[in-house]
Structure 1
Amino acid sequence: MAFQRHVWLASILALTASALVHAQAPTINLYTFDSSLENGQGADAGIQSDIGDKITKRVICAANKAGWHTNIKTVPPKRALYSLRNQLVDGYFAISASHELAPYAIRSEPIALEKWYLYSRLPDAKVDVYDMGTVAGSNEERWLERNGYRIKLRVSAEHQLLALLFKKRIDTAVFDEARMAYIVQTAPPAQRQPLYRQFLRFAPMYLYVSYGFAAQHPGFLKRFNHHLRGCGSDVYQLNDTKKTLVRTLAQTYLDDLMSTGIPQAALSQEPGVSSFTDILAADSTWHALAPEFASRQAVELLARPASRQLAEWQRQSRGVIREVFITDDAGTLVASSQLTSNFWMGNRDDFKEAARGESGEFFIDPIHFDSSSGYFVTFVTTPLRSPSTGRLLGLIAFAIDAETIMLPSGLQDDPGYSHAPSGAVP
């Protein structure tokens, strides 16, 4: 009986402690924008942590892991922006990069990646020629205005744009691919006819927190960003056509890089650590500080001639290559164009796979956000082997810009503005 009482008392104390911790967790008040709202209906409808939206779930997950509760409301975008500018709310998501908000708020790492297309009834429509419609206050509207495109009609909900397309009131509209699929699925039968689409850009979405909140809670955003990576992420698998393009790009840039002698010079240098234990210790410090700060090991590596030469070579790619680094046969960095997330890459699946590959083979990752470069990229890794013995000497990894991959040529200067038709969409 005494033992049972002790167990019962321990259980009560554990539950009480858990409840106290839960009750003491602070709350961050956030606004979000549902583009399906019409004329502000539902603007004050609170949505709590049981919301089914994928992006909202990810924000809640990262905030909870950072030690915060979330209080989220869906409001029209103009009200959300006004509230954030005037410090009336702690944060606002999901919003694309905003120069207008820079004086008032600071943004997180991307919480989602949207894939924007220009949709039209016309096979040869251009974003800067035909009559266009958009949702007032939306991310698409701000991007179109910022780039000087003429907008004929503004509506309050995305499904209205689809109706206007089929009524021939507008010729084109910009939609996120996933949102368009949902809108078509729920539209009347008359609005489910095929449309042409043209890829425009990848659009990262962010959480913006007010400077007032960030000043009061300086550690929040760093913890939030850290936990985002464990709360799911947006990745895009490349189809065979795009993988062929990536291999062609990678081969072109690999041939050019090898002709400079930079990889050969980098591999002739020692990593700067003498044992595997030292490698793991250096990697732990490196990873804990990056990408905000550079460890002593990182500063020394980035100062090497091969690293400086890689940085200059990357700049000459004009945005196609967002990052490039070289490791030895154990996966330890010997040169890098910029600060990476890790010093030792030997435990990464792509490096393990590439290390088993033959010379000339390319191992291609899905498109994802890379925190060290700050871009959505696909990593391409290839082994470097001795021509005479076949022994693995090291590996080279390129981070190729995601929007470049979506272009027909893959080599245009401004990958955010592609107008080549990619076919009809049912």
Structure 2
Amino acid sequence: MKFCAPYILLLGCLAATSALATQPLQIYAPEAAPYQYEMAGEVHGTTVEALRCALNETSWRPEVHIVPQRRGIHSLRTGVIDGYMAITPSDDIDQFATLSAPLALEKWYLYSREPVSLSKARLGAIAGSNESIWLHKKGLTPRMQVSSLGQLVALIERDRIDAMVVDQRVMERYLKDARDNRSAPRVQLQRQFIRFAPLGLYVGKNFLAAHPRFLARFNDNLDDCVSSGFQLEDSERQLIQRQSTTLLDQAISELAIQDTLSNPPPPSTLADILMIDALWQASTADAPSEEAQHILERPLSKALRQWQEQQHGRVTETMVMDAQGSLVASSQMTSDYWQGDEDKFRMVAADPGDGFYIGPVRYDASAQHFQVIASRALHDPRSGELIGAVALGIDIEKALSGQVLADVTSP
């Protein structure tokens, strides 16, 4: 019996250690299939999968519950829960919580019978939804607010409203369920792109004060969990490619970029390039390295900035690279000097023609916009040798804005 007490003590220590190994994270979310929805007592959806993925290698285990948005925000404000998802940026919530990197990317469209202006249409919205909050913020108060998407569609059918702002995937899910139930809308609806909306996790500031490293690690892990949801549709990619091709042609022609690349300085060794790159990455826009300052002050860089300003926000950055992938000119400070290992250079440099590349959708949290990188290789017209590449950052919201797409419903 003399060994019993130490044995019990050991079991107690192991139990305490096990309890500390996992920690519950109380999360509320609104019903919005396919992002988050309840089925058979469990909460599923793409945002829930991204949340669990980002927390998989941590001690935190999320407990997600579906509640109305207003209740969720109130619970977060009063500290009843640790976090609330999936929601778009809100100035009001910023006062008592901090938003994570995006868990998902919504694409909002204006759905209507005929093409209408967002600012002039009689709008409907789901009360308390992300779309409703955004419309109020824009000064576009919805004429009618209801509790479900089905009610909004019925209001359009009865000509009580002209249009509604709804996420594309939410609409597709509604239409599928409606057709399965033989209750599809009796009107044809067209969709007009409005904006991209990042859905993040708002984490309470009291929680972050107790766990200051939580959000940084969570955001880092999200990079590998949500990339598949940030892809362009074929129709969107074709539109971006047409606009990017026109912009690249214009920049190359007007700024004589091909002439600049046709007379390069002697090539550098890879070791020299990597040394410059290391110094470059250690510098900042406020304190650029000597090489960065030299490149940013080049006549071509100044011309790129001036040209970019004339594009009314469609172009977010412009850069020119030589045949080795080193930066020759840029409209602004970049994170790297050597672009040779990045897809925007690597993918086009491998193409024997004037290769064209469009990258994935990326969210710039500081500027709060979504962009894609479009690039093209340039070759010497006589020898056919690669002489460099040009890359543009394209604001995809501005590029897609106002585009009216095909009917999405059938009577």
Normalised by the size of structure 1, how large is the TM-score? Answer: 0.75
Q: Distance in 2 between matches of 1:372 and 1:361?
A: 31
2:168 maps to 1:177: yes
Change (3 A) 1:349 1:75: same
Q: Distance in 2 between matches of 1:254 and 1:196?
A: 32
Query: Counterpart of 1:95?
Result: 87
2:398 maps to 1:404: yes
Does 147-156 or 301-310 show the bigger shift?
301-310
Q: Is the 8 A contact 1:35 1:156 kept in 2?
A: no
Change (3 A) 1:168 1:325: same
Give 1:162 shift.
Answer: 2.6
Query: Counterpart of 1:219?
Result: 213
Query: Counterpart of 1:410?
Result: none
Give 1:142 shift.
Answer: 0.9
Amino acid at match of 1:145: H
The one of 243, 246, 249 equivalent to 1:251 is 246
Deviations 1:224-246 (A, max 9, x none): 22211111322333436852653
Q: Name structure 1 gaps, 5 residues minimum.
A: 1-15, 407-414
Give 1:197 shift.
Answer: 2.3
Q: Distance in 2 between matches of 1:246 and 1:179?
A: 27
Deviations 1:288-337 (A, max 9, x none): x89xx679876852663145654454333221012222333232334433
Q: Distance in 1 between matches of 2:85 and 2:302?
A: 37
Q: Distance in 2 between matches of 1:258 and 1:22?
A: 65
Secondary structure at the counterpart of residue 153 of structure 2: helix
Query: Counterpart of 1:109?
Result: 101
Change (3 A) 1:374 1:116: closer
Secondary structure at the counterpart of residue 102 of structure 1: helix
Query: Counterpart of 1:260?
Result: 255
Q: Distance in 2 between matches of 1:35 and 1:71?
A: 17
Query: Counterpart of 1:137?
Result: 128
Q: Distance in 2 between matches of 1:294 and 1:21?
A: 47
> How does 1:304-315 map onto structure 2 within 5 Å?
304-306=296-298, 307=301, 310-315=304-309
Q: Name structure 2 gaps, 5 residues minimum.
A: 1-12
Query: Counterpart of 2:184?
Result: 191
Q: Is the 8 A contact 2:354 2:379 kept in 1?
A: no
Q: State percent identity of aligned pairs.
A: 32
The one of 394, 398, 407 equivalent to 1:424 is 407
Change (3 A) 1:124 1:374: closer
Secondary structure at the counterpart of residue 56 of structure 2: helix
Q: Distance in 1 between matches of 2:143 and 2:364?
A: 37
The one of 28, 44, 50 equivalent to 2:25 is 28
Does 311-320 or 88-97 show the bigger shift?
311-320
Q: Is the 8 A contact 1:35 1:135 kept in 2?
A: no
> How does 1:74-89 map onto structure 2 within 5 Å?
74-89=66-81
Q: Distance in 2 between matches of 1:268 and 1:60?
A: 52
Change (3 A) 1:259 1:366: same
Query: Counterpart of 1:337?
Result: 331
Amino acid at match of 2:148: A
The one of 292, 298, 317 equivalent to 1:301 is 292
Change (3 A) 1:215 1:241: closer
Q: Is the 8 A contact 2:255 2:303 kept in 1?
A: no
Amino acid at match of 2:379: R
Amino acid at match of 1:356: A
> How does 1:339-358 map onto structure 2 within 5 Å?
339-358=333-352
Deviations 1:402-426 (A, max 9, x none): 12332xxxxxxxx4xx3x5423212
Amino acid at match of 1:332: S
Change (3 A) 1:421 1:76: same
Q: Distance in 1 between matches of 2:78 and 2:119?
A: 34
Does 257-266 or 229-238 show the bigger shift?
257-266
Give 1:117 shift.
Answer: 1.4
Secondary structure at the counterpart of residue 93 of structure 2: coil
CA-atom RMSD, angstroms? 3.9
Q: Distance in 2 between matches of 1:282 and 1:51?
A: 50
Q: Is the 8 A contact 1:332 1:346 kept in 2?
A: yes
How many residue pairs match? The answer is 387
Amino acid at match of 2:136: E
Q: Distance in 2 between matches of 1:285 and 1:29?
A: 43
